[in-house]
Chains A and B, each alone.
Chain A
C-alpha cells in the first residue's frame, strides 16, 4: 500500500482512457447499440447487453457533484500534497457518469456543489516515481467565461 498509485496505462479496460488523456481529450465508453454511456468501463453494456462499446470523446464539461478536502495525510503517496481536494464530477453528456478526480486551479474554499467544471490534463507526479501519467483533472470554469 505504500507504493506509488500510478495507473497501469496498458490495462485493456482503461487503456483508451489514458491514451485519450495523453492527447488532451476525455473519452468514455458508449454503447453502440443503445447509446448509453457506460461507466466504469465494462465488456458488456449493463443496459442492453451490447458488446460494442467504443470510447467516445466527450466535451470535458460537467458539474462538481461532491468533494472532500484532505487536510491531514491519510496515505503516504499523498502526504506531500495536503491539503488537496478530490471528488466526483458529473459529466455534461450524462450526469449519471461520475468521474473521480482531483480538483485543481482553485482554493478548496471556492468549491461549490454543482458548480460548472472542465477537464484539464495534468501529469500525475509522485515523489520517487520516474514514470508520469497524464490524467484528466478538473478545474472550475472561470466566471469570466460564462456559457462555456
Chain B
C-alpha cells in the first residue's frame, strides 16, 4: 500500500460556504436506448428543474454545462428550446462527473461577481442510443488518447471495466476485500433503485445470493459491479441563499466544495497509490470549508461507475480507514434504513441511470428536503456527493438551510 500523499494535490478553492443554494432539481426520463439527443434530454431536465423551483426560463441568466463531454446543450440551444433571447452567462466548468460537485463553486463566484443571478447546471447523455453505432460512449475518450493507444490498448487493457477489475484485484490483495463486500454495494444500490420509480432497474431486484451466482465479466468484476449505459440527464438550479428563502422549496445550501487531482492524470496504470482516489485530497478540503466531519453526514452519493470506485471513495473521504471499506459496507450498512451510512439512495450509476453523477446531486437535494418517499433517510440534514473522473475527484457538501 502506498501511503505517501505526494501522488496528487487539492485544488485551492476560495470559500463559498453558504453563498449558493440549490433551489430546483429536475431529472429527464432515464431509459435504455430512446432515440433522443443529449440536448433534447437536457431541455427536459431543465424544464422540470425550473418547474420544481417555481422559476421561468426567462429567470435563468447562467448556464453551466460540460466543456469536455461533447454534444451538450449550449446557449443557442437553450434559447431555441425555450423561446428566449436574453443574455446568458455560460461556463463549461459544469455538467456531471467531478463537475457536478464543483459547478456550485463556479456558480457562487458568478453570483458574487454579479455575472448571473440564477444559474442552471445541466448534464445529459444519449449513450444508450449511440451505442448501437459505436460512437460516443465512455470508452471513446480513452481509445483516442495517444499513450493509451500505444501502450495499453494493444494489450487489451481497455475499456474501463478492465481498469477497475485490475484495481479491485489489487485492493483485494492489499486489504482482503471480498466479492461479497463489493456485492453489498451493488445490492444496496439496487434496493434503492427498486424504491425509485424513475430508476432504470426499478423492477429488477438483486440479492447478494443473486450477485454471487452471476458470472464474471472481467474477473474479479461481474456485470453487477458495472454501471449501466443510459439515455438521460438532470439539472439543478442555483441562486443566492437570500433569494432562495423567497422561493417555493425548502432551501438547501452548499456548505463545502473540494477538488483533488492525481499527478499521473488519466493513466491509472501509473498512479503510485493504485488503490486510492483523489478524494484523499478533495474530501478533507470540502469538510474543512464546511466546518463538518464525515461523522456528520446523513446521506452519501458517490460516483459509482464500478462498485470498487464507491468502496475506495468511502475510504478516501474518511468514512472509515484506508483498507477498512470492505467490512464497512457489509450487510445493510449502506441501505437507507440500515442504520449505517446510506449510499446512493436513488440507485446510483449502478442501478438508477448512468447520467454521470448529476442525478446524485438531485437525489441529495430530495433527501435533504424530505421528499425521497419510500427511500427517505429520516431527518437527513447533511448530504455529500463524491464526484470522480479517475484523474480527479471532488466533494460537494449540501445542508438543509434552517
Contact = CB atoms under 8 A, between A and B. Distances in A.
B155 A68 contact: no
B152 A100 contact: yes
A115 to B, nearest CB: 11
B146 A100 contact: no
Contacts of A99: 151
Contacts of A56: none
Interface residues on A, range: 35 or more
Contact of B173 (A7, A66, A98): A66
A101 to B, nearest CB: 5
Nearest to B161: A74
Interface stretch (B16-24, B246-254, B265-273): B265-273
A71 B149 contact: no
Contact of A71 (B146, B150, B155, B219): B219
Contacts, number: 110
Contacts of B267: 40
- Chain B interface category by residue count: 35 or more
B90 interface: no
Interface in A94-148: 96, 98-102, 108, 113-114, 124, 133, 135, 137
Contacts of B269: 88, 98, 100
Interface string A54-70: 00000000000111111
A14 B167 CA distance: 25
Interface in B150-201: 150-159, 161-162, 165-167, 169-170, 173
Contacts of A6: 154
Contact of B151 (A40, A67, A75, A137): A40
B155 A11 contact: no
Contacts of B140: 1
Nearest to B226: A74
A146 B251 CA distance: 67
Interface stretch (B30-38, B210-218, B348-356, B385-393): B210-218
B82 interface: no
A105 to B, nearest CB: 15
A7 B155 CA distance: 10
Name B's interface SS. Answer: helix
A68 B165 contact: yes
A5 B166 contact: no
Given A1-B134, A71-B217, A98-B269, A86 B154 contact: no
Interface in A1-29: 1-2, 5-8, 11, 13-14, 17
In this complex, the member of B150, B165, B169 whose beta carbon has the largest number of chain A beta carbons within 10 angstroms is B150
Contacts of A2: 134
Given A67-B169, A70-B218, A133-B154, 10 more contacts: A5-B143, A39-B270, A66-B170, A68-B161, A68-B218, A71-B218, A72-B217, A74-B218, A86-B156, A113-B170
* 10 A-B pairs closest in CB distance: A68-B165, A69-B219, A66-B170, A5-B153, A113-B173, A86-B156, A100-B152, A100-B157, A102-B155, A7-B150
19 contacts: A1-B139, A5-B153, A5-B158, A7-B150, A7-B151, A17-B151, A65-B274, A66-B173, A67-B169, A68-B220, A69-B218, A70-B162, A70-B218, A72-B215, A72-B217, A74-B161, A75-B158, A98-B269, A98-B270
